Amino acid sequence: MSGSMLLSVSIGPVQGFVAQSRRTRDLWGSSYLLSYLAARAALGVVRAGGKIVRPNLEKDPLFQWVERQAQGSGGLERPPYVGSVPNHFVAWVDSVEAGRRAAQEGVGELERAWRHICQVVWDRYVAGADELGVDVAAIWRRQTERYWEVAWTVAPEGEADASLARRKLWRTHHLPDEPGDKCMVMPDFQELSGYVRARGPREREAQDRFWAEIRKKAGPLNLPPGDRLCAIALVKRLFASVSEEAIGGRIDVSKWPSTVYMAAVPWIDRVLESVPEQAAQYARAVANVAPREVFSERRPVRRTGGRTALGLGRALDTPHDTGGFERLDGNFFHADAVLNERLCVLPEEDPDRSAAIRRELAQRLKDIAQAKGADGKPLGSPSLFYALLLADGDRLGELLQVYKEGEVSEALRRFSARVPDIVDRHSGVVVYAGGDDVLAMLPSTTALDCARELAAAYRDSFGSEDPAHQAVPAGIEPTLSAAVLFTHARIPMNTSLGELRRLLDDVAKDENGRDSLAVGVLKRGGLHAQWVTTWRRPAFSDVSGHGVGQAPGGGASPEAFIDAVDAIQRLASHLDREAGGPLSTSLLYRLRNTLGLLCEWPVWAPGTWGRLLEGVDLPAFVRAEVRNSFEHRPAPSGSGREATGDSGGGDGVRVISSGTRNDENVEELVQAILDILPRSCRERREPHAGNGDEGSGGEGRRGLTIGVDGLLVAKFLANRGEEGTDE
C-alpha cells in the first residue's frame, strides 16, 4: 500500500469510565461497553475502506461477532462475554482524506450504537418513572449525548503514535456542568431524579420514590436500596439485563460474581468436598425464605485440577446435589451478613419472624464452620479477601520498532486469546482482555500463580512456529508487568481499582523498571503491604557462604536466580500454622522493627526500601531471630516433645526439639526469608537504590537494599486472607 497513511483512533474516557465502579457488575459493564463501542467504531472504519492493522481483529471474537451481526448473519449466536477490542486501534487508509472519512464513519457508528443502548435502558427502566423526577429526560440527554471523547489522527507510518499523543494533549472535549445531588458511582455527574436531599424531607422522600419505582423494574440486586445513579452509571449497570435488545445478543451475566463471592470460592470448594449434605441443606433453607434472585448472577465454582503451593484451590468433583449452594449470593456465606437486613434481603415483613429466620440461617453457617474437613480441622468461615489482577505489556513502542506491525498484532491476538483459559483455570473471571491488557478477578489463593502464567504466555506469544525465525530480536524482550492486589471485599471497587492501577503504573513499571510483579494487600484500615520484584529474582546465597546472588567463583550463576512467585509461596508455607509451619507472627514484626533501625527508616510505611548499614551481617541476624522463635514456639499438642516453663521470650512455652531436624528447619526458613528481603529491580532510580539485573544484589552485605513487605505478603498468604491473625 505505497503512499498509504495510518489512521489512529482512541476512545475515552477510559480510567474514569472503568474505575468509577461500585460493584463487579459496574466494573465488567463499563469494560465491556467500552470494548463493544470500540468494536463498532472499528467496524465503521472498515466499512469506509480502512484496514485495521493493530490490533489484529481478523480473529477477535467480539469484533467478529459485531461484524456478523451487522451483516445480519449472526442469527441467535450469543456475543462473547469478555471485552477484547481495545479502545485504541490503528488502520491503513489510502490518503488523508480517506482517513478523515473513515474516522467520521467510525465515530458515527460508535454514537449510533451508544444512543441505541441508552434508549433501550431508558425504555425498559426509566420511562414512566421519569414523571416522578424533575427534568429527568433533560438530565439523561445532557449526560449521554456528550460523554464520549474520540481522538483520531492520520499520519505517515512511523509518526502515527506520536501524532495521536500530541492530539490527546489538545483538550477539546468538555462536559457540561452538573448541578444537584451527585451519582454514587460517578460523582462528577448528577443523579437522575433531579431532587436535592439537602432541601428537606419532602425532596428526600420524592427522590426515594423515584428510585423505588426504578428498583421495581431493575430488582434489588441490580439496584440495591440507597443506590442513586446518573444516566451513565445506570446504563453500564443495567444494559446487560436487556442486552438482546441493546446489542443484539444475550450476555450471560452469571459470569460476574460479587467481590464477597469471589473471596469465598476456596471455602466453597472445601465445604462441598467435605460436607456436601450440610451445604445442600443450608441452600434449601435459604431457598425457602429468600427471593430466587439470591441464586442467580453468580458464577458456579470452577471444578478444575491443580493446586497452589499452599494446597488451596483443590479440585472438586462431587456427584451430590448441592441445592444451589455454589450459586448463592456471597453474603449468604457469612453469618454476620445473614443477620444484616441490608446485606441479605428477605421478603418476610414481620420483624420477629425475620429475625428468627436469620438466626436459624446463621446457626447453620456456624455448624458448617465447625465441621471437620479432610484434614481433620474445622472448615472455618470464608475469607473476605479476593484478588484483582491488572497486567500490561512493557515497551510496546520499542517492540514495534523491531518487529513488523503484523507480527506484533498477531502476537497480541494470540496472547489475548489465551487469557480467558488461563484465568478460568485459576478459578477467576476475566473482566477485560484485549491486546496486551488484562483485568481479572481471582480468589486470593490462585492470583499469583495466574499472574506468573500470564507473564509466561505473553512472552511465548511472540515466539514463532518457524524454527528458522528469530523469535526475540537481540536486545529486545517482550515482557509483561503485572499488579496483584489482595483487597477486602467490603472496600469500594473504585478504591481498589485506583490502588491496583497505582501498583502497576507507578510501582511495577516506573519504580521497578518493568518486567515486574507488584503485590499489595489492602485492608479496611488502608494499605498493609506493598512488595515489588522482577519475575526472576536473585537468590540470597550468603547462607551457603557465597555473596548475594553470586556464584562461588564470582559472577552470576544460573542457580543464583529464583522464581519470585515460588519464593514468596515458599516463605508462606513456612508461616502457615495450619500446615505445621513453625514461625510465630511476632517474629515478622520483630524483624520489621529491628531492620527499620538497621536501615535507618525514620517511619516504616508499605513499600519502604532501605540500605542496610555497613557491617551488619544480615544472615546471622535473621538466623538468630529465627532460632529464638523456634526455641520459644508453643509445643504442638500430642507432639511428645519436652516442654519447660515459660522462658520469658513472650512467644509461649519453650520447646526442647530434636536437634538435626530443627537445624534443618531453621536453615530452610532463614534461606526463605533472605530470598525475599533484598530488592530486585531492572533499573536503578538512583545509585545503589536497588539490585537490578546488572549485579542483582552483588553489593553483598554492604549497602544491600532490603524491605520487609515481602514477609508481610507471605504472612497474608499463609493466613489465607483471614483478618485478625496479623497486625
Specify the CATH number for the domain of residue 222.
3.30.70.2220
Long-range contact set of residues 418-425: C-beta below 8 Å, sequence gap at least 24: 418/457, 418/461, 419/454, 419/457, 420/82, 422/450, 422/453, 422/454, 422/457, 423/389, 423/450, 423/454, 424/302, 424/304, 425/302, 425/304, 425/306
Q: For residue 266, what pLDDT is reported?
A: 92
In a domain, 461, yes or no: yes
In a domain, 563, yes or no: no
Domain edge (last residue) among 234, 254, 274: 254
Domain edge (last residue) among 254, 276, 298: 254
Q: For residue 475, what pLDDT is reported?
A: 57
Q: Do 80 and 54 sit in the same domain of this protein?
A: yes
Distance from C-alpha of 27 to C-alpha of 24, rounded to nearest angstrom:
5
Q: Do 646 and 690 sit in the same domain of this protein?
A: yes
Q: Do 16 and 131 sit in the same domain of this protein?
A: yes
Distance from C-alpha of 326 to C-alpha of 74, rounded to nearest angstrom:
33
Residue numbers of the domain that contains 510: 383-524
Return the number of other C-beta atoms located less than 10 Å from residue 477's C-beta. 14
694-697-703-704 Cα dihedral, nearest 10 degrees: 140
Return the number of other C-beta atoms located less than 10 Å from residue 248's C-beta. 17
Distance from C-alpha of 49 to C-alpha of 93, rounded to nearest angstrom:
7
Distance from C-alpha of 94 to C-alpha of 6, rounded to nearest angstrom:
9
Task: Give yes or no for a contact between 713 and 310, defined as CB atoms under 8 angstroms apart.
Answer: no
Q: For residue 320, what pLDDT is reported?
A: 63
Q: For residue 459, what pLDDT is reported?
A: 92
In 394-496, the DSSP E strands lie at 429-434, 437-443, 480-488
CATH code: domain of residue 393: 3.30.70.270
In 334-470, the DSSP E strands lie at 385-393, 429-434, 437-443
Q: Do 242 and 265 sit in the same domain of this protein?
A: no
Q: Do 387 and 489 sit in the same domain of this protein?
A: yes
Q: Do 15 and 161 sit in the same domain of this protein?
A: yes
Distance from C-alpha of 551 to C-alpha of 541, rounded to nearest angstrom:
8
List, run by run, the mean pLDDT of 10-residue segments along the chain (727 residues). Answer: 78 85 85 95 96 90 93 79 91 94 96 97 95 96 93 88 83 79 93 95 96 92 88 93 92 80 93 94 94 70 40 42 89 94 87 94 96 89 96 85 78 91 92 91 96 96 58 70 96 92 95 94 95 93 43 44 94 71 67 85 87 88 85 53 40 40 77 93 50 39 79 90 52
SS3 assignment for 333-353: HCHHHHCCCCCCCCCCCCHHH
Q: Do 363 and 478 sit in the same domain of this protein?
A: no
Q: Do 219 and 288 sit in the same domain of this protein?
A: no
Q: Which three cell numbers stand for residue 57?
A: 481483529
128: left (phi over 0), alpha (psi -120 to 50) or beta: left
Exposure class string for 682-695: b at 16+ Cβ within 10 A, else e: bbbeeeeebbbbeb
Q: For residue 74, what pLDDT is reported?
A: 66
Domain edge (last residue) among 335, 370, 405: 370
Q: Do 225 and 289 sit in the same domain of this protein?
A: no
Number of structural domains found in the chain: 4
Q: For residue 585, what pLDDT is reported?
A: 66
Q: For residue 81, what pLDDT is reported?
A: 85
In a domain, 532, yes or no: no
In a domain, 347, yes or no: yes
Q: Do 297 and 225 sit in the same domain of this protein?
A: no
Q: Do 353 and 399 sit in the same domain of this protein?
A: no
In a domain, 545, yes or no: no
Q: Do 194 and 274 sit in the same domain of this protein?
A: no
Distance from C-alpha of 151 to C-alpha of 106, rounded to nearest angstrom:
11
Q: For residue 634, what pLDDT is reported?
A: 56
Q: For residue 165, what pLDDT is reported?
A: 84
In a domain, 239, yes or no: yes
